[in-house]
Amino acid sequence: MAATFDRASVSTELAKTMIDAAERKAADMGHPFVIAIVDDSGVLKAFSRMDGAALLSVQIAQDKAYTAAGFGLSTDAWHDFVKDDAPLAMGAAPGIDRLIVFGGGFPIMIDGKVAGAIGVSGGHYSQDMDVAKAGLAVVPS
């Protein structure tokens, strides 16, 4: 019998709903994206590579989600955190595996806890953020 743990984690159903919402936003924008949802441990829960999305965006989207889940901080907030601190800016992004410090990754918060994260890649980071926010908009508050 598998053990169960009392912790917040994004459900499969919610992850799929988030993917659908993000894909609708991407379609409205007329551009393909890669969308990754990870659970509270940063493990991939749901994924979509829209037709025509760039190959390199596959890893970037997953790393944005991983970063956001791992720190409970959006990836764009990481840029603000390190930009004026030269040692941190020089050491964090190149020194921490999978750390992304530009927009497109957001933690998924449920009952005040990090339950996972969404990461989007495929456009300019501001477009990635818009698609990710569309996915976040379906998360119950």
Q: Is residue 79 part of a domain?
A: yes
pLDDT at 79: 80
Q: Is residue 108 part of a domain?
A: yes
Looking at residues 41-49, what average pLDDT do you find?
A: 97
> In the chain, how many domains are there?
1
Looking at residues 29-35, what average pLDDT do you find?
A: 98
pTM of the predicted structure, to 2 decimals: 0.90
Residue numbers of the domain that contains 65: 12-136
pLDDT at 101: 87
Q: Is residue 3 part of a domain?
A: no
Q: Is residue 2 part of a domain?
A: no
Q: Is residue 5 part of a domain?
A: no
Looking at residues 88-113, what average pLDDT do you find?
A: 84
Q: What is the CATH number of the domain that holds 113?
A: 3.30.450.150
Q: Is residue 36 part of a domain?
A: yes
Q: Is residue 4 part of a domain?
A: no
| Per-position b or e across 35-63, b if 16+ CB within 10 A of its CB | bbbbbbebeebbbbbbeebeeebbebbbb
Nearest to 67 by CA among 89, 86, 32, 93: 93
